[in-house]
Amino acid sequence: VAFPPEHIPKNSKPAAVLMCFWPTAHDRVEVLLTKRTHKVSSHQGQVSFPGGRVDKGESYEEAALRETREELGIPAHLVTIMGRLDDAWSRFGHHVIPIVGWLQQRPPLNPNPHEVAEVLIADMETIMQPGARKEHKVVIHHKGEKQIHKAQAFEWDGGYVWGLTADLLLELILWIKEQPSNRGERRL
């Protein structure tokens, strides 16, 4: 689902993320995530897919590939774009377009220390197990009131992801399983 233009706030910032996957020697598939540093302007310390702003004149795919190269050193020519998932929002006013990319093998990674605190590689079969899916509670203080919001989360040996990134993973899992998804409509 691409958000209709009339639903996108005029002050939202377009952004794209790249969901990178590749096969392993053991007939499994891995996905690439990063833990953001505290030096970046938003989502400090959170686990996310590589990505960021869309520059003027740049497509979402070009932005996702450029940001992935800047953050992790992965050359664009190694990535085959498979498609995109439903649009999303970040709480920092970004209109996020998730792009799905396939690599033939695990790429050499050269994390940018200004943007990436840690590289996380997760096995998709593990993440797709029912026990990996969790509920994450977020406490938000709004106008002097404490509000608790529930968010998607996934936990695996060596990693934990919640919020928008986990919601994108959930949508991808539904896509892989050829199950209907309402994630885009819920985000809208």
Cα–Cα distance measured from residue 163 to residue 151, given in angstroms and rounded to the nearest whole number: 5
Between 152 and 63, residue with greater pLDDT: 63
Q: State the average pLDDT over residues 163-170.
A: 92
| Nearest partner of 78 among 101, 54, 110, judged by Cα | 101
Torsion of CA 52, 165, 40, 106, to 10 degrees: -70
> 147: which strand partners?
140
pLDDT at site 45 = 60
pLDDT at site 42 = 58
Is the Cα torsion angle 2, 124, 114, 112 positive or negative in sign?
negative
Q: Are 23 and 31 in contact (CB under 8 A)?
A: no
Between 143 and 66, residue with greater pLDDT: 66
Question: If you search the block for the tokens 């605190």, which residue do you land on?
Answer: 117
Q: State the average pLDDT over residues 156-177.
A: 91
pLDDT at site 92 = 72
- Mean pLDDT, the chain, rounded, equals 89
Of 25-34, 63-72, 90-99, 165-174, which gets the smallest average pLDDT? 90-99
